[in-house]
Copies of this chain bind each other. A is one copy, B any other.
Amino acid sequence: MDERVREHAELLVDWSARVEAGDDVVVSVAEDAHELGVAVAEALGERGVNVTTLYGSDEIGRAYLKGAETRADGDNAEVPEFDNDPAVDRAIFEAADAYLRIGGGRNTTASADVASSTRQVYAKARKEVREARMDTDWVSTVHPTRSLAQQAGMAYEEYQDFVYDAVLRDWESLAAEMSHMKEVLDAGSEVRIVTERDDAPDTDITMSIAGRTAVNSAASVAYDSHNLPSGEVFTAPYDTEGEAFFDVPMTIDATRVRNVHLTFEGGEVVDFSAGAGEGALAGVLDTDEGARRLGELGIGMNRGIDRFTDSILFDEKMGDTVHMAVGRAYDACLPDGKSGNDSAVHVDMITDVSEDSFMAVDGEVVQRNGTFRWEDGFEA
């Protein structure tokens, strides 16, 4: 076994999930993530925890939804019906202390032929399970697979190097750096982001962050951070106004989506377009009321990630980018006991801010052309 697989497993278990003896840990292993699953199981055995292993297979998920579509067809129903309180799934996440999701399937478009209406009713029905899962110490990571390498347009070994450069970092040191950005956001009331590039529509968007707490997302539940890799600072904005253009391509429900343009009025998306995949975008925005409001503003600060790979786990953390998500907000950004924007979806969209751009908090520029105020070469 590649020594980096073991290092990844130990980082996931100890730094990210903070697993302790006696915990009940649920691990979900994707089709081609077996090797990391094995390394994680060994680490968890050493830590003295109970382990339950789920099979996170996209092909099995797709087959189940296709079967449900066949049933709906037989019943002359427009969309399948799903139980909104599946007893076993609920029991699992109510009993679990931690949930480690190891992605890495065989085909990133494995469920391309599931109707978006089916996905939507399923996502709605599974809302309570999702909430129970997010109440655990959950962490999402991926094992580098050939399918993800292909999605990134990279050779397999090249992609392995890319993943481990992003994952196997000095997280304490990055957390210290990110704390500057968190301080600015915690003290601020309004964020404005502007890009003015010749080759793309302008972005000029403002949002309120008053009363919200930013998360220093250092890839550990101890920082309210649930991705490995991470390396972003994010908060939960509201009252969004203006226009935003997202030039980084992404994949929504197995559909390639490019050049998304959103117009916000009174906190809601009132107009949208996409250069490709507009139908998938429309499906997301129509999921529920909260799907038209922002749930997240994130500032990517992981400079170990040096390129876009069409994987949101990595893309949104890349230095010199910001991202906004429509849909669900994270409770960690709200005062204790309060919840932010509610939705069955959370879809991130990314803008490159390395050039011809600035971000200002309460009128004061904090990042220009990718360089932060506390970095060398910053120009207010």
Contact = CB atoms under 8 A, between A and B. Distances in A.
Interface of A: 22, 24, 26, 29, 31, 34, 37-39, 41-48, 50-55, 57, 59-61, 63-71, 80-83, 86-92, 94-96
Given A48-B68, A71-B47, A91-B95, A53 B57 contact: yes
Given A41-B67, A91-B95, A53 B55 contact: yes
A41 B53 CA distance: 17
Given A52-B54, A91-B91, A92-B88, A46 B60 contact: no
A91 B24 CA distance: 11
Contacts of A68: 45-46, 48
A10 to B, nearest CB: 11
A95 B92 CA distance: 9
Contact of A70 (B41, B45, B51, B96): B45
Given A42-B67, A55-B37, A67-B42, A89 B50 contact: yes
Contacts of A69: 45
For the complex of A and B, list the 4 residue pairs with the smallest distance between their C-beta atoms, beginning with the closest: A45-B67, A50-B86, A55-B55, A91-B91
A44 B57 contact: no
A37 to B, nearest CB: 6
